[in-house]
Amino acid sequence: MRNPVTELVEKILNAIYRACGYLASIFVVLIVISVLTNIVDRILGSYTAGTNEFASYCVGAAGALGLAYTFGLNKHIRMTLLVNRTHGIVRKAIEVISLLIAVGLSSFMSFYLVKMVFVSVVLDDRSTGTDGIFLWIPQAPMAFGFFVLSLALFHALLLELFSGSSPGD
């Protein structure tokens, strides 16, 4: 029987991953709206400032926010050629080492993305494009997405170490 606190934490984490997936899908819809706006503008011979920049911001946000969600569903592309041919302690060691590397890399990325957002806020940094938006606004969803990915990878590492399963299992 599992600990009720562990089950509650896992429910909360899965809800966070799912929320990130929903946010990513909203950003994909915003990309479509931005592209359609550009198409309509060209047909009408008009121009809406910032739509290209807005679409690129949404691509970054959708990509980063979707990472934890897809990892939690076990839908990431994994190189299982070696893992599927091993069993027992060797397989567990490969899984743990892989997750440790992934946690390290995603945490490194998360740290510097959060630092980038902080520096943009401190410097009052603005986009050089036609929109002139504060850069921390499009940077924040990317930083949050990678932070949640780091959390999901750490969650998977703990599950692998202590229960022998992964979040998607």
**Residue-range domain boundaries for the chain:** 4-162
Please, are residues 102 and 88 in contact by the beta-carbon 8 Å criterion? no
Q: Output phi, psi for 85, to 5 deg.
A: -95, 0
HSE (CB half, 13 Å, CA atoms) of 146? 20
Average pLDDT over residues 145-158: 94
Cα distances from 139 to residues 46, 119, 143, in angstroms, run 29, 11, 6
Q: Is 81 helix (H, G, I), strand (E, B) or coil?
A: coil
Taking only the tens place, the pLDDT of each residue in 24-63 is 999 999 999 999 999 999 999 998 888 889 999 999 999 9
User: For residue 57, what are the contacts with CB-CB under 8 A and spacing of at least 6?
Assistant: 133, 137, 138
Q: Is 126 helix (H, G, I), strand (E, B) or coil?
A: strand
What pLDDT is stored for residue 117 in this prediction? 97
d(CA 75, CA 94): 19
Say whether pLDDT at 168 is over 50: no
